[in-house]
Amino acid sequence: MGMGLSIARSVLDALPGWPPDCLVLDLQMPGLRGLDVQRLLTAGGIRVPTIIIITAGDAPETRERCLSAGTTAYLCKPFDDCALLAAITRVVEGAAEP
């Protein structure tokens, strides 16, 4: 099992007993990708506001796949610290990104 997959599984296993206020996942994480993690959360009934970071372009179908999987918001690289902090604030306060 790769390191990325091992870490993702450990986080998923810990979530029911320790739900964070927000998760930030990269769409292209090694092993279990960010969208895979989001789908597992949704399928498991785990509701955690999630931001997905997209590295390679902002295709409308990518945005739709993320949002339909239950992602609360997403950011496209490159972005600055202020954009990330604003997205985290929005999802933690319950305001989904349009």
Q: For residue range 52-76, what is the model confidence (pLDDT) as tens digits?
A: 998 876 778 888 888 888 888 889 8
Helical residues (DSSP H) of the chain, grouped into ranges:
3-14, 34-43, 60-68, 81-92
pLDDT of 96 reads: 54
Report the mean per-residue pLDDT for the chain. 80
Sign of CA dihedral 8, 43, 38, 51: negative
Give pTM, 2 decimals: 0.76
Q: Does the structure show a pLDDT above 70 at 7? A: no
pLDDT over 90 percentage in the chain: 15
Max Cα–Cα distance, the chain, nearest Å: 36
pLDDT of 95 reads: 58
The reply to whether CATH 3.30.70.20 applies to domain 3-92 is no
Q: Does the structure show a pLDDT above 90 at 97? A: no
pLDDT of 51 reads: 92
Beta bridge mates, 24: 51
